[in-house]
Structure 1
Amino acid sequence: MELMTRIIKIDSCLSIYSYLLLFGKTTPAKLRDGTGLSKATMFRNLALMLEAGVLANEQDSDVTDKRYSQHYYISRNIIEMSKELSSPDLASYADSQGRAGLVAEWASNLEFLPATLNQYTTHLLVSMPCQKEPEESSSSVVTKLMVFRVGEGENPGEVVRSLQDFVEWFDSKHKTKRRDWRKPIQNPVVLSISLVSADSAGR
């Protein structure tokens, strides 16, 4: 749990995960180009996620250039792993060991994880040009902004949980088979959720 807590609190880790989520098995060189991270930051976070079991890697023996011979890919869905670490049994055990605070911190971070990952993947799609064939003269990314009033903001967490339930329902209705995380999404569509709440004075 401590490793996963660190991962979901580090922006650069989530940026790497989001890139691999969209584009599948990738080399460190391409990861650096796609995320803009420094070499030290990227490899430090790759090592952290490998240790936690979020990522896996494999070597391409036919490639001699080390920048391109090592490939990283998602081995387990970070949100599914997070839910497993939120079980009542684990919370009870942590409480018996005097680590209840760690579980509370984990739950707080986990609450906004799906929305955070959506924001990262949206940023990647908008900031990176689409891969097109040479004969195609242009490419475009279409985004739509929709704003909804969802009611009183006394408990924004309830709104977030409702949105998470909707996203999970939508995914379950449209998922035909288990995804191979080594392969990219061919036509990625990303929903980015931003929850904005004003105070009682309307500021």
Structure 2
Amino acid sequence: IMILAAKDELLQKPFQKGKHTKVAHKNVAAHEWDREEARNRRQHLISMNAFERHKKFVSDYVLYYGGKIEEFRRSTSKDKTDLDVVRENHRFLWREEDEEDMTWEKELAKKYYDKLFKEYCIADLSRYKENKFGFRWRVENEVISGKGQFLCGNKRCENKEGLKSWEVNFAYVEQGEKRNALVKLRLCPECSFKLNYHHK
């Protein structure tokens, strides 16, 4: 009998459990199961991006506490694009006082302004009979194509013959303030007539 017992001990591997091990308590099993579930849930959340995680949390909140998902949707009525911001804060000419108390909106508008080419203007002469004119600086594509310098500076005219340079005192209202600027533009004879319609 002693020899058999010793033989059994020799054959038993160090990590091998005994034949009559105790069954784990329910609490231990539940704890292990919870840990495994938490690990899986954490792994699932980590695999999501921030927006998907946010949507899941909101969905869970609505599921547990009630309510409607629409209540969590933010209002887009006050949303603005960069273009809207530039339009609101644009200046035809930036002065030193305009650059005081710069907000990010003003900085964006100033950044756009700095990219404009301010040698010649592009004119809108569509309301010339009312003595109302619109002027703006040229963008890069217009400089490359020659618009406003080698082509007529009227935005609706592509004439390149007989262009004449004009220097105009542009009076305009900006941000509720009257301002003046001396601008140069190149126009064909027909558009030059429109520009000087009230100065015959």
TM-score between both structures, scaled by the size of structure 2:
0.18
The answer to which structure has the higher strand fraction is 2
* More RCO (CA 8 Å, sep 6+): 1
* Bigger helix share: 1
Bigger Rg over Cα: 2
Give TM-score scaled by structure 1 length. Answer: 0.18
